[in-house]
């Protein structure tokens, strides 16, 4: 039976540990930004990372976007039918995708598809002491390894989210117009009159951009910070996916409460 003082001490220790890690992550971000020059002067490094985190995620993002759109089309039609306003299906599908589902689901998929890969790669480089070897050769591992992966993720994420939303709208159109028979003109015109470019689409893009920064930072940080053992790498990958998911959902709430205050 531990004494209350010991319990409190353990709580305090855990808390200090968390805050220390948070501060370390912030300083890590500052270091990435400071050493980003190499990613600009040698864009080939960043392009390579866009290939690994962006191009290789194309399939999963477009297929999931299509299926989310199909489901939204079916469920939305089912509900709207009760109110006799099935023409509003377009605006329902488009707004839910552009504002929320596009950035959030694409972010979650991106974290599990690309974020985990980045963590594993950097973690394994650390375990096999490649990062140290680079340091020995006077190559800064943050500039050479971490920053390009960070920027690759930041650039790829908004594009993937836009693709997700677009595929979702096509999926909703496919179910609503082609299979069920909602009027094609009403579907698109209601959508266009209800979705504002500045208010809905730009805010969605800002969201996906913020999620891209968060996921990429978490992925490279967990990889760089992992215990240099096989178990440590696997733990770091798990932490990447869990922390990214939590960060995306929490940031989504914060951003939504600033962007859409329900005034309109």
Partner 1 sequence: MNRATIDLWVGIFVAIGIGSLLFLALKVGNLSSSRLSNTYTLEARFDNIGGLKVRGPVKSAGVLVGRIADIHFDPENYEAVVTMSVDGRYHFPRDTIAAIYTAGLLGEQFIGLEFGGDETMLKPDETIRKTQSAVVLEKLIGQFLFNKAAEGEGAN
Rounded to whole angstroms, what are the CA distances from 69 to 97, 108, 109, 163, 219? 8, 17, 16, 12, 28
Our CB check for partner 1 shows the closer of 106 and 251 to be 106
Stretch that binds partner 1, among 1-9, 54-62, 122-130, 242-250 (CB under 8 A): 54-62
Please work out, in degrees rounded to the nearest 5, the angle formed at the alpha carbon of residue 71 by the alpha carbons of 66 and 75: 150
Distance between CA atoms of residues 197 and 183, nearest Å = 23
Cβ-count burial of 222 within 10 angstroms (0-12 exposed, 13-18 middle, 19+ buried)? buried
Q: Which two tokens stand for residue 24?
A: 């370390």
Select the residue interacting with partner 1 from 196, 206, 239, 256 (CB under 8 A): 196
Asked if 156 is part of the footprint of partner 1 (rule: CB under 8 A), the reply reads yes
Map the footprint of partner 1 across residues 211-250, applying CB under 8 A. Answer: none
Which residue bears the tokens 């266009």?
192
Q: Which two tokens stand for residue 36?
A: 């980003």
Closest to 222 measured CA to CA, from 211, 236, 233, 235: 236
Asked if 145 is part of the footprint of partner 1 (rule: CB under 8 A), the reply reads no
Distance between CA atoms of residues 243 and 155, nearest Å = 20
Asked if 200 is part of the footprint of partner 1 (rule: CB under 8 A), the reply reads yes
Residues 6+ apart with CB under 8 A from 168: 65, 66, 68, 69, 72, 93, 97, 101, 102
How many residues in the shown chain lie near partner 1 by CB under 8 A? 33
Asked if 188 is part of the footprint of partner 1 (rule: CB under 8 A), the reply reads yes
Binding mask 86-105 for partner 1 (x = CB under 8 A): --------x---x-------
Our CB check for partner 1 shows the closer of 61 and 247 to be 61
Q: What is the DSSP letter of 228?
A: S
Q: What is the DSSP letter of 262?
A: S
Give min distance, CB of 177 to partner 1, in A.
13
Distance between CA atoms of residues 162 and 168, nearest Å = 10
Binding mask 16-45 for partner 1 (x = CB under 8 A): ----------------------------x-
Select the residue interacting with partner 1 from 71, 166, 174, 206 (CB under 8 A): 166
Our CB check for partner 1 shows the closer of 3 and 41 to be 41
Considering Cα of 189, then 194, then 198, then 201, what sign does the dihedral take?
Answer: negative
Select the residue interacting with partner 1 from 70, 159, 247, 248 (CB under 8 A): 159
Our CB check for partner 1 shows the closer of 16 and 58 to be 58
Asked if 209 is part of the footprint of partner 1 (rule: CB under 8 A), the reply reads no
Asked if 143 is part of the footprint of partner 1 (rule: CB under 8 A), the reply reads no
Asked if 191 is part of the footprint of partner 1 (rule: CB under 8 A), the reply reads yes
Select the residue interacting with partner 1 from 101, 195, 215, 219 (CB under 8 A): 195
Q: Could you list the residues that contact partner 1 (CB under 8 A)?
A: 44, 47-48, 50-51, 54-55, 58, 94, 98, 156, 158-160, 162-163, 165-167, 169, 188, 191-193, 195-197, 199-201, 205, 263-264
């Amino acid at each position: 039976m531990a004494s209350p003082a010991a319990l409190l001490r353990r709580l305090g220790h855990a808390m200090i540990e968390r805050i220390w890690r948070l501060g370390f992550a912030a300083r890590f971000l500052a270091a990435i930004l400071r050493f980003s020059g190499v990613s600009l002067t040698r864009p080939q490094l960043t392009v390579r990372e866009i290939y690994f985190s962006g191009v290789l995620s194309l399939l999963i993002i477009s297929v999931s976007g299509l299926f989310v759109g199909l489901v939204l089309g079916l469920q939305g039609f089912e509900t709207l039918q009760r109110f006799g306003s099935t023409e509003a299906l377009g605006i329902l599908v488009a707004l839910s995708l552009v504002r929320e589902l596009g950035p959030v689901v694409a972010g979650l998929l991106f974290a599990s598809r690309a974020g985990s890969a980045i963590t594993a790669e950097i973690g394994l480089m650390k375990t096999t002491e490649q990062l140290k070897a680079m340091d020995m050769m006077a190559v800064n591992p943050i500039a050479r390894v971490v920053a390009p992966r960070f920027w690759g993720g930041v650039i790829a994420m908004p594009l993937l989210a836009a693709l997700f939303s677009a595929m979702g709208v096509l999926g909703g159109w496919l179910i609503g117009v082609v299979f069920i028979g909602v009027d094609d003109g009403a579907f698109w015109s209601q959508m266009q009159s209800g979705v504002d470019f500045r208010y809905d689409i730009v805010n969605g893009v800002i969201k996906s951009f913020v999620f891209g920064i968060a996921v990429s930072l978490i992925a490279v940080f967990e990889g760089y910070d992992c215990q240099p053992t096989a178990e440590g790498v696997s733990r770091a990958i798990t932490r990447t996916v869990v922390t990214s998911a939590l960060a995306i959902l929490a940031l989504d709430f914060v951003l939504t409460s600033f962007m859409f205050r329900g005034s309109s």
